[in-house]
Amino acid sequence: MRKQLCRWLLILLLSTIATSGFRVGAQAVGTTAIATPQTQTIIATTWSPDGSKIARSGTGGFLSIWDANTGNLIRNFIGLSGTIYTVAWSPDSTKIASAGDDKLIHIWNVSNGQSLANLIGHNDSILSLDWSPDGSKIASVSAVEHLSLRIWDTATFQQLNAFQAGNLQSVKWSLDGSKIAVVNTNAGIVIVDPLATIPIQNWVDYLVGPNSSVSGSAGSMAWRNDNTTIAVGYFDGKIYLWNVATNQQVSVLQGHTGWVGSLSWSPDGTQLASASNDGTIKLWNVATGEQIASFTKPQSLTTSIAWNPDGSQLAYGDGTDLKIVTVADLLTPPTADPQR
């Protein structure tokens, strides 16, 4: 029962954590939709670091790469089964890593679709993974197993470290590669050195963010480009901005009425995009805490939201479709009807 509950939460929560581009409007004006076979729900959407491609994964072993400019399919990856909860690009955009119900981390060559390696070690579904900024490591987490956080060497494809870390649902590297943040479903956000040795009883010493007894469970997180600020979305709809160096609150963004399942910072760190199961996507001015754009999605469950690398577009999963919007359109008031 516990394992089934964790998986159910992850189809909801991890449907939201892997991305990098998006767009808005009262009903996302000018949105470009990239269709997915109707039997497959998008769980993860990730923009390549060079901005040219988008990788998507989901139910039914679905993993594909699309041209971000034309919306054309580049390739489907074959031989996968179950739900693929997470996909991550290498920093040079030449490889992707995917993982899910089969408990393996698959490394793929993007140019020809060939499998480069399968990383074996997890004993339960892998819910989140992230490639380090220098490309040398991958961090991965699972919800229900003894060693739920693992660090891998991408040159040798060997495991470098493993942590007994409780029930985890998401992992993200800081942009300088010195730290990783993980969402623990019971404790909150934990930030650690990826190569340290930390007994599970000492993990409380590495907690950041508001006390979980006050804020409830965390559902999403994202690092800012300053390496010291992390945004954390909670089940009560609040988004906390937290200084991880001082472990002090920076601000609280309030506007969502449901759990915040996905967060993505603009590349320059001035804006934050958030998606919630209240059916809305919101754009925030981080300096003022002001909500500067909001729109309602046709599907209340948004499966991942992300900025493209130059900050001009956002991509978000909407049921079985991937949608791309131009940020400038969201921030420009609609032109008045000339007949009025």
Residue 33 has pLDDT above 60, yes or no: no
Amino acid (one-letter) located at 104: L
- Which amino acid would we find at residue 329? D
| Per-domain boundaries in the chain | 2-331
Mean pLDDT on 79-89: 93
Residue 44 binned pLDDT confidence (cut-offs 50, 70, 90): confident
Q: What is the mean pLDDT of residues 240-250?
A: 92
Per-residue confidence at 116, pLDDT binned at 50, 70, 90? very high
pLDDT above 60: residue 215: no
Compute the distance between CA of residue 93 and CA of residue 78 in angstroms, rounded to an integer: 20
Q: Which range among 19-33, 79-93, 167-181, 257-271 shows the weakest confidence by mean pLDDT?
A: 19-33
Q: Out of 17-21, 135-139, 196-200, pick the least confident.
A: 17-21
Quickly tell me which residue has 């945004």 as its tokens. 231
Mean pLDDT confidence for 70-92? 93
Q: Which of 73-87, 153-167, 188-202, 271-285 has the lowest mean pLDDT?
A: 188-202
pTM of the entire predicted model: 0.83
Mean pLDDT of 10-27: 37
Q: What's the CATH number for 2-331? A: 2.130.10.10
User: What is the model's pLDDT at position 321?
Assistant: 73
For the ranges 99-113, 137-151, 157-171, 198-212, which has the lowest average pLDDT?
198-212
When mean pLDDT is compared across 52-61, 83-92, 95-104, 314-323, the lowest value belongs to 314-323
pLDDT at 3: 47
The answer to whether the beta carbons of residues 34 and 72 sit under 8 Å apart is: no
Mean pLDDT of the chain: 82
pLDDT reported for residue 222: 94
Tens digit of each residue's pLDDT (9 = 90 or more) over 291-318: 999 988 765 555 578 889 999 998 887 6
Q: What is the pLDDT of residue 65?
A: 95
